[in-house]
C-alpha cells in the first residue's frame, strides 16, 4: 500500500505542475525513479528490484514512440518511467492503455477550456481541415520560430496518465480488493453518519 500512496503523490505532484506550468520537472521524475528502486528493493528484495526495472523499461518501450511522434512530451515519458518502477510492468501497461483512452477526453476538455469553443473550432479547422493552406513550398506544415506547428495547442497529458493509473489500480485483481478493504470502513462510517 505504501508504494501505491507514494505513486499517487508523485502523479498528483506531476499533475499540478503539468497543469500549472506545462512541464514536469526532471528532478521530480528522477526522485520518483530513485525512490521506486530503493523501496522496491527494500520491500520485495531482488524480485522487487527486477519488477521496478521491468516496469521502467516497459514505460520506455511503450512511450518513446509516442514521444518521437510528438504525441507526448519528454516529461510525461520520464514520469511514467518512475511510475513503472513503482508499479511493475503489468500495471504500467494497463495504466498506459487507460491513459490513452482518458487522453482523448482530457485533451479535448483542456483544449476547450484554454481556447473556448470558437477558438477550438478555429484551431481544429486550421490544423486539420486547412492543413494545405498552412503548408510551405515543401508541403510541410508551417511552423513558428520555436519549431511548433502553427495553430497547434499543447495540452498537458499528466491528467490522462494519472486517471489511467488510478483506473488500472482499481481494476487490478491484486490491488483492487486491497484498496476496497482499506477504504471500506471510511465509506461505512460516512454512510452511517449520513443516516
> Cα(39)–Cα(25) distance, rounded to whole angstroms?
21
| Model confidence, pTM | 0.74
Q: What does pLDDT average to over the chain? A: 81
pLDDT in tens, 61-111: 999 998 998 888 899 999 999 999 999 999 999 999 999 899 888 878 887
Indicate whether 124 pLDDT > 80.
Answer: no
**CA–CA distances in Å: residue 58 to residues 28, 63, 87, 92, 115:** 20, 8, 11, 8, 35
In this structure, of 4-8, 22-26, 85-89, 139-143, the range with the lowest mean pLDDT score is: 139-143
> What does the domain layout of the chain look like in residue ranges?
2-194
Note whether 66 and 97 are within 8 A (CB): no
**CA–CA distances in Å: residue 153 to residues 49, 76, 124, 126, 156:** 39, 16, 10, 11, 10
Q: Which residues of 25-39 are buried (b: 16+ CB within 10 A; e: fewer)?
A: beebbeebbebbbeb
pLDDT in tens, 29-57: 999 999 999 999 999 899 989 999 999 99
As given in the structure block, the three cell numbers for residue 1 are 500500500
Query: In sequence order, which residues have a C-beta less than 8 Å from that of residue 94 and are 6 or more positions away?
Result: 164, 168, 171, 172
Neighbouring CB atoms inside 10 A of 148's CB total: 13
> Cα(7)–Cα(62) distance, rounded to whole angstroms?
19
Bridge partners of 135, per DSSP, are: 141
- The reported pLDDT for the residue numbered 172 is 83
Amino acid at each position: 500500500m505504501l508504494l501505491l500512496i507514494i505513486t499517487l503523490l508523485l502523479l498528483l505532484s506531476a499533475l499540478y505542475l503539468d497543469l500549472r506550468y506545462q512541464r514536469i520537472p526532471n528532478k521530480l521524475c528522477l526522485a520518483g525513479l530513485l525512490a521506486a528502486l530503493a523501496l522496491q528493493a527494500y520491500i520485495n528484495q531482488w524480485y522487487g528490484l527486477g519488477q521496478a526495472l521491468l516496469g521502467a523499461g516497459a514505460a520506455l518501450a511503450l512511450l518513446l514512440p509516442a514521444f518521437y511522434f510528438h504525441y507526448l512530451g519528454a516529461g510525461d515519458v520520464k514520469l511514467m518511467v518512475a511510475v513503472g518502477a513503482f508499479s511493475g510492468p503489468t500495471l504500467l501497461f494497463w495504466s498506459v492503455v487507460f491513459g490513452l483512452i482518458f487522453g482523448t477526453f482530457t485533451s479535448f476538455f483542456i483544449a476547450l477550456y484554454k481556447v473556448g469553443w470558437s477558438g477550438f473550432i478555429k484551431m481544429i479547422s486550421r490544423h486539420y481541415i486547412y492543413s494545405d493552406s498552412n503548408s510551405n513550398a515543401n508541403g510541410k506544415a508551417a511552423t513558428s520560430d520555436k519549431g511548433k506547428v502553427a495553430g497547434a495547442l499543447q495540452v498537458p497529458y499528466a491528467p490522462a496518465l494519472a486517471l489511467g493509473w488510478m483506473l488500472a489500480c482499481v481494476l487490478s485483481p491484486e490491488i483492487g480488493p486491497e484498496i476496497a478493504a482499506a477504504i471500506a470502513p471510511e465509506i461505512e462510517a460516512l454512510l452511517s453518519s449520513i443516516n
